[in-house]
Amino acid sequence: MNIYGKSVVLRAFELRDMELLREMLNDPSIEQMVVGWAWPISEFSQEQWFRQLSNNGKDFRFIIEYEGKAVGSTSLTDVDWKNRKAYTGIKLHSSSPKQKGIGTDAVMALQRYAFDQLQLQRLEGSWLDYNKPSENLYLKCGWVIEGIQRQAIYKDGKYHDLKVVGLLREDYEKMVENSKYWES
Ligand SMILES: CC(C)(COP(=O)(O)OP(=O)(O)OC[C@H]1O[C@@H](n2cnc3c(N)ncnc32)[C@H](O)[C@@H]1OP(=O)(O)O)[C@@H](O)C(=O)NCCC(=O)NCCS
């Protein structure tokens, strides 16, 4: 089942998406903003990675489609079915339009799926202290900063603090009620 936001669709990864994903991994401007780290990824290793992906019932990765075009990816990973929580992430390709609400709609669609379909209770994430686009996006979507991991991530010759964040089902419901996001 594909997941629909107001303007985006979240769908499964296909082999044809590997180049988009590879370009995002190889893009230094994205690497600078995300918590994880990457090395130069070849077409071969990208395709190999995709072919060994299994449907393990714990990690769900989606392509974000906007106006019929793949523009990025988002995910629910490490789903913990007992404690009903998962980790989330998002990346838009550098060629995709920014500050047009694509990120917000993708995060909102993912949150609705997580809470209303998967019946999760909590989502978790983190962002680098200087990642303002991410902070603005997630705070707008109801997330709460729960703590700081000091000097947790090394990039560009120095250590950076990591903001550890969470969203409870009740935070999401309150935000939807206040913003009327799904009504407009
Ligand atoms: C973070 C990211 C997904 C945001 O996507 P986007 O489609 O531009 O986000 P939106 O248009 O929905 O904007 C959401 C909010 O964040 C704000 N925002 C987005 N980019 C911003 C920027 N560069 N500077 C300041 N605020 C920004 C928007 O103004 C908006 O708030 P508003 O509605 O109050 O104006 C995108 O910039 C990206 O992919 N960055 C690289 C990867 C990354 O950092 N991923 C997250 C790792 S934790």
Instruction: Give dist(CA 128, CA 89) in Å, integer.
Output: 13
Average pLDDT over every residue of 117-132: 98
- If one counts the domains in the chain, the total is 1
Q: Nearest CA to 133 among 102, 166, 171?
A: 102
Instruction: Give dist(CA 64, CA 137) in Å, integer.
Output: 16
| Domain extent at residue 103 | 3-183
Distance 114 CA to ligand 1 centre (A): 21
List the CATH number of the domain containing 99: 3.40.630.30
Are the C-beta atoms of 141 and 108 separated by less than 8 Å?
yes
Distance 73 CA to ligand 1 centre (A): 14
Helix (H) or strand (E) holding 107: helix 102-112
Considering the chain, what is the average pLDDT of its residues? 97
Distance 92 CA to ligand 1 centre (A): 9
Q: Is 147 in the pocket of ligand 1 (CB under 6 A)?
A: no
pLDDT in tens, 79-108: 999 999 999 999 999 999 999 999 999 999
Question: Residues 53-66, buried b or exposed e (16+ Cβ, 10 A)?
Answer: eeeeeeebbbbbbb
